[in-house]
Amino acid sequence: MDTESLEGRLTGIDTADPLDALGALLDNQFAAVQAVAAALPAVRDAAVAAAERLRGDGRLMFAGAGTSARLAVQDGTELAPTYSWPRERLVYVIAGGPAALTLSIEGAEDDREAGFADLAAAQPTADDVLIAVSASGRTPFTLGALDAARQAGALTIGIASNAGSPLVEDADHGIVIETGPEPIAGSTRMGAGTGHKVALNLLSTLIMVRLGRVYDGLMVDVELTNEKLRHRAARMVKEIVGCDAATAEAALSAAGGHVKLAALLAHGLSPEAGRTLLDERGGNLREALSALAR
């Protein structure tokens, strides 16, 4: 497997000048990011399919072991505050359990049956989407989780760095990020980890965009958990509607901090009428504003 090989440039890194060593490591990171470009069509197809499944009450599930699990959990965790993705619609299946996010749990990734059982315990359905991540694409625990999701009819997405691996071959949508040999042989937190993090960023962001949780590049479903975000929300309303700051702030207050609803209130709708219009349009602000303009 490429992920177990050593990148030629890094031979002798322990005797190299520190600045030269850092330059070589940075070049590897750039190459890992660039490797995602070839996988963009696969990422697109997976995101479009996932968004369709998630328009109802389906859940977004993540499965992985070690570095892959940590990257997946980080990606999923950020969807709630950024896009108000319901926390109850996020499921994490981690080899070794939550403790493995900060500890190395010996042998956990080798237990395929545990992966199957842990995913099955979440009672997956055909409305759910599983994103399974493994640098090698052969991690038994992750393959077990994939099996359970497939048997339940959930949409499955596999992200790996080795073409032809079981994870990408068996998933409904396989995404191969060919990051190649690692700068530290086998340390997939480097090339593969960087490539996978970029792919996860792109995948989950496009899913949220397709679900109407972004408007003109603005995070209109953001949770207002601090003063900075409250000021940002008021600016978003002002920009979307073209109103003054006072009107935007008043609308945001009346909307209980919900940017989408506030934009409709600034157009003169009542809270009840605004909520109804958003519900009719599946929470899509652009469609709600278009309907309002007709």
Catalytic residues: 78, 109
* Residue at 26: amino acid letter: L
Rounded to whole angstroms, the Cα distance separating 250 from 116 reads: 50
Residues ≥6 apart with Cβ < 8 Å to 161:
2, 3, 135, 136, 137, 176, 177, 178, 179, 180, 188, 191, 192, 195, 196
User: What residue type is assigned to position 1 of the chain?
Assistant: M
C-beta separation of 3 from 135 below 8 A: yes
Q: Which residue, 20, 9, 14, 42, is CA-closest to 195?
A: 42
The C-alpha atoms of residue 155 and residue 140 are separated, in whole angstroms, by: 19
Measured in residues, the chain has a length of 294
